[in-house]
Structure 1
Amino acid sequence: MPNRRRFIQQLSVAAAAATVPSWFYIQRSPDLRPLLPGGVSAGDVIQDRALIWSRSDRPARMWIDWSTTESFKKFNTIQGPAALPESDFTSKIDLTGLPTGQEIFYRVRYQSLEDLKLWSEPSIGRLRTAPGSFRNVRFQWGGDTCGQGWGINPELGGMKIYSQMAQRNPDFFIHSGDTIYADGPIQAEVKLPDGKIWKNIVTEEKSKVAETMQEFRGNYRYNLLDENLRNFNAKVPILYQWDDHEVLNNWYPEEIHDDKRYSEKNVALLAARAKRAFLEYNPIRSNGEDPERIYRRVSYGPLLDVFMIDMRSYRAANGPNKQTQAGPDTAFLGRQQIQWLKEGLLASKATWKVIASDMPLGLIVYDDYATKGTFENGANGNGPALGRELETADLLRFMLHNEIKNVVWLTADVHYCAAHYYDPAKAQFKEFRPFYEFVAGPLNAGTFGPGELDNTFGPQVLFQKAPPTGQGNLSPLAGLQFFGEVNIDAETAEMKVALWDNLGQRLFEQKIVAQ
């Protein structure tokens, strides 16, 4: 194995160059060489390819060197796209022809388009391609970054949970949504109940709700000011999905909202800008037929297929959610995505099928907590499957009748951690095979919960950790920040799912035997 200490030192040197905003360097750099203020990251890694992302601070051409050794004694060089103002100087390339099941080191350089003789310093990252044979697999998941006003606190060392996760050396990470809080401005100081002061780094774009392209992009740039996050991105490939706060709390495509903080009330327009920023700033492999499609399947060797779903883009309006017949008003994933998911699960030959969901199945999330008459999630209260639950029931029934086994759901959204077991013997709708759902988050946001379970699909609480009753929106100082980790054993195919906190303590573990 490569010398990991030396590699981490390289990352620290590279990250130091990105701790100061790009405008500072534009004023001070005598030769105007490009800089990489957001570092580098990789995503959607499979057996022979990976998406590589970075951002210049000025017009420049992206170049990537990759090698199977960290010394780069021998390496391949790939010319990438131009980073231009139209994409906020972001760029990414689908790196192909990689060896299967191999640790890959890569470095990104930018060549100035204003003076071709000027080059940036390289920024270094690493990844592991998916194995072609049986090999132990470790990956993590979580969601909710910089929410509820809790941003990057330099006095606490920033978002240190990312350092805790990196120390566990996962093959990849699933970000389960709320990658930013476009609707959550950050203040310089927040007074805590005990009198202490939480101090945030503040930028212009994070000082108001995001409405323009520049403001949505600024939310991603804000998160990348954190050194822990940049180092994590360079070490761990990430699979991204989105939820609501990338746009607006509890949004749906047809909504005309009434939030007085906004001058733009049309959610469809806000969502279009938000999605473009999301795709610009994250290494997601685009779909040729639909380049804006977020749902996708990522295969990681014979033991694992990950189905990244999108519960946001195709939903009908939030409402009472009590329809007795499926139709346009009950859409959640939408007919096309449901068909894609069914076909993918049926075709999968992997031992484990993980469905990465941006919302839990059985936890009730109200659209309006004041009246509790409308629902943001599929769950709508105890009883038979109604409304959006009809879509879930149809999917679960399909998996039962087609003997699709070893399906595990991973999610975030509710800002606490939990393990749920869905048992048809205790459910109102019974046509499904028992399965587990695990919830992890927030990563750096307010902590809430626990939530109320809906008995339609028979969820049972195996474990949960949340704030004491009556307390909500606790800051990360409370220690209630969580991530999840999955380990799959190559010899036994056994899956172990664990829930961890930001202090590096394992809180819970569930062993699941493959059927």
Structure 2
Amino acid sequence: MDRRRFLHASALLGGASLLTPHGAHAQAPAVITRDAMRPQMPHGIQSGDPIADGAIVWTRSDRPARLWLEWSTTASFANLQRVRGPHLLEDSDFTGRVDLRGLPPGQEIFYRVLLQDLRNERVMSEPMAGHLRLPPAIGGKGLRDVRFAWSGDTCGQGWGINEQWGGMKIYEQIRRINPDFFLHSGDTIYADSPIPAEIKLPDGSTWRNVVTEQTSKVAETLDEFRGRYRYNLMDANIRRMSADVPQIWQWDDHEVTNNYSDAKDLSADARYTEKNIPLLVGRATKAFHEYAPMRRFGDAESERVYRHLPQGPLLDVFVIDMRSYRGPNSANLQTEENAASVFLGRPQIAWLLEGLKRSRAVWKVIASDMPISLHVNDGKDAEGRDRWEAVANGDDGAPRGRELEIARLLGEIKRHRIHNIVWLTADVHYTAAHFFDPAKARHTDFLPFWEFVSGPLHAGGFGPNKVDATFGMQVVYQKAPGTPNAAPAVGTQFFGQVDIDARTRAMTVTLKDLDGNALFAKTLAPQRGSA
């Protein structure tokens, strides 16, 4: 049973046979102290979308406030700079961010966030300190090694914050490797997975979650979607990493509901009183953009997620969006590109190709929210055929359906001789290394490349998935629990680490487990090309 079939079964059964929910923990009466009279930042601080001269700094207040930010290139805050940020008000759930620009490229940046109480402007919060490391400018002096981490899937299948177990411990492992940034590859929340107080484990023991009102049911209201992000930030491991490591976020389906597309139908799902998918998408989108430490676009497409984040001469990161522009999930067997087969969409593919052609970085990472050639099923269509959620369609022949877009993209990459492209993804709740070999493919018009999969961060373990042979994907390594919805305590939670050596320009990708153990490593030597 893969993750999506498990979720489908859970929805039909209301989760009753899979999870054992109990009443929410009672909240202790608040004790008013002198510090509580100041504005508070109960969900910590985050930084994100780092570039050579800038980064986003985010926080959330517990009341109407103005955000102030101080930064320096030294931990002593000598020669600090002060920036006035936005008002944090009810319409944004008291969240806000500052897009710091004009920073010195390649520097360590130490910052602290303060809140000014709008009911009494003389009252300021205690400062909350953070840190980030900027990439060097392209063409600038000096070159250093690059290290970053990636993974996805947080708080899925009912596995929430178990403080007795240590919370979401994998985030602390990521912080300890001291990465330049962390790439969250999607499913930043599980809006469709209620978090019960207790779950009975196969060995007879009990997993005990911290629970909140907003996580006790599927998210439908704007407050319930926001509550999912607030819940994740209750975890001390996440808050600690978020203050110390810049993040790059993307999204997938669980920010709204499982496998959503234009074909999604909630009419038979008794958990939902709101059946309108576009309305749920609207509320979920607002909550995501309020809580993601992400740089906003202009009014033309203010909710855009795909973006280019240059990380200096050694690395370009292209974050793509496989969710927002897709057509309906279907049998995925169209023989020509049309509205039913669209996945990334022509504007996004054109943007990606142009960015890859222009890139002068040694390595080009495509941060993808779904794998290319793994079977990701979405039940059956009206004719009883398999319906597909990702790119692959279970047919090993020539590209059809969504594979047509990917074939066109890969063909253009080959035509322009763009080398050193690596795909990173999550989604399937296990870890793997895939090599795409045109010599073993049904469709051969592409350059060989690697795709690495990691996750989940803190969710049920699943897999492994079946393979579609259209693009010649070879499974070089994989590790999965072998049983559906394996608990985090089993140890099959994973993240990936990427190191680029400044001297040799080689990229080493290491797949790691919950304890930080290296499971598999692959060193890729850069190839010469026109780009």
State the TM bucket, normalised to the shorter chain. over 0.9
Aligned residues between the structures: 493
| Equivalent in the alignment of 1:262 | 272
Deviations 1:2-44, CA, capped at 9 Å, x for gaps: xxxxxxxxxxxxxxxxxxx999768555772100011111000
State how far apart, in whole Å, the 1-side matches of 2:123 and 2:401 are: 59
Instruction: State how 1:207-286 maps to structure 2 within 5 Å.
Output: 207-253=216-262, 255-258=264-267, 259-286=269-296
Deviations 1:368-407, CA, capped at 9 Å, x for gaps: 1796610001100111100000000000000000111100
| Equivalent in the alignment of 1:74 | 79
AA matched with 2:38: R
Query: Is the contact between residue 366 and residue 372 of structure 1 (CA under 8 Å) also seen in structure 2?
Result: no
| Equivalent in the alignment of 1:10 | none
AA matched with 1:442: P
Within the candidate set 403, 407, 410, 2:421 is matched to 407
Query: Is the contact between residue 262 and residue 329 of structure 2 (CA under 8 Å) also seen in structure 1?
Result: no
State how far apart, in whole Å, the 2-side matches of 1:498 and 1:396 are: 25
* CA 1:25–1:48: 2 relative to 1, 3 Å: farther
AA matched with 2:58: W
Instruction: State how 1:475-486 maps to structure 2 within 5 Å.
Output: 475-486=487-498
Q: TM-score scaled by structure 1?
A: 0.94
* CA 1:405–1:208: 2 relative to 1, 3 Å: same
CA RMSD of aligned residues (A): 1.6
State how far apart, in whole Å, the 2-side matches of 1:57 and 1:377 are: 39
Within the candidate set 431, 436, 456, 2:470 is matched to 456
Instruction: State how 1:296-445 maps to structure 2 within 5 Å.
Output: 296-368=307-379, 373-381=386-394, 382-445=396-459
> Which 5+ residue runs of structure 1 have no aligned equivalent?
1-20
| Equivalent in the alignment of 1:117 | 122
Deviations 1:57-109, CA, capped at 9 Å, x for gaps: 00000000001111113210000000001000000010011111000000000
State how far apart, in whole Å, the 1-side matches of 2:402 and 2:33 are: 56
Secondary structure of 2:348's counterpart equals: helix
> Which 5+ residue runs of structure 2 have no aligned equivalent?
1-25
Deviations 1:430-483, CA, capped at 9 Å, x for gaps: 000000000000000000000001000000011000013xx1100001000000
* CA 1:401–1:431: 2 relative to 1, 3 Å: same
Query: Is the contact between residue 359 and residue 413 of structure 1 (CA under 8 Å) also seen in structure 2?
Result: yes
* CA 1:172–1:223: 2 relative to 1, 3 Å: same
Within the candidate set 95, 98, 104, 2:100 is matched to 95
Deviations 1:148-193, CA, capped at 9 Å, x for gaps: 0100000011011111111100000100000000000000000011
Deviations 1:343-371, CA, capped at 9 Å, x for gaps: 11111111110000000001010011796
AA matched with 1:37: P
State how far apart, in whole Å, the 2-side matches of 1:482 and 1:30 are: 38
**Percent same amino acid among aligned pairs?**
56
Instruction: State how 1:194-213 maps to structure 2 within 5 Å.
Output: 194-213=203-222
Query: Is the contact between residue 368 and residue 374 of structure 1 (CA under 8 Å) also seen in structure 2?
Result: yes
| Equivalent in the alignment of 2:56 | 51
- 1:256 Cα deviation from its structure 2 partner: 3.8
Q: TM-score scaled by structure 2?
A: 0.91
| Equivalent in the alignment of 1:489 | 501
State how far apart, in whole Å, the 1-side matches of 2:29 and 2:52 are: 40
State how far apart, in whole Å, the 2-side matches of 1:23 and 1:87 are: 27
* CA 1:388–1:24: 2 relative to 1, 3 Å: farther
State how far apart, in whole Å, the 2-side matches of 1:89 and 1:474 are: 36
- 1:260 Cα deviation from its structure 2 partner: 1.7
